[in-house]
Amino acid sequence: MYLSFSQQTTTVCLLLHLVSISYPGTYIYVMFSDTFGPDKCCFQFIKERLPKTKVLSFEYTDKRCAMEGVLLRMLKGKQICADPTMQWVKRIMKLNCRNLLKT
């Protein structure tokens, strides 16, 4: 069966509406995430240690996020979520702060 573009769009909209009725929080999140919600949140943390020489900088996630995390910005631009309570993460953050103070 072939659906035209408008039929496909209508189908997708109906499915999204059904999901939003089933999960009201999802609908609110979709509508307001760009305006009222935090920009960057971590939902899972990296398990293995990262070499401190590869970390360029860090920033804490927004306090409104479900999990408190640290975004580590790597030399190649990639951002990785890490647990701020882990010792190796604390060492990287401390070293990064020292390097910032030296410059």
Looking at residue 98, which CATH number applies to its domain? 2.40.50.40
**Do 4 and 54 lie in a common domain?**
no
Asked whether residue 103 falls in the same domain as residue 57, the answer is: yes
Same domain, 10 and 47: no
Judge contact between 74 and 80, C-beta under 8 A.
Answer: yes
Q: pLDDT per residue over 18-71, tens digit each?
A: 444 444 443 443 444 455 677 889 999 999 999 989 999 999 999 889 999 999
Higher pLDDT, 16 or 37: 37
Q: In whole angstroms, what is the distance from residue 15 CA to residue 98 CA?
A: 51
Between CA 70 and CA 93 the distance in angstroms is 9
Whether the full predicted model's pTM is greater than 0.85, yes or no, is: no
Whole-number Å distance between alpha carbons of 72 and 51: 11
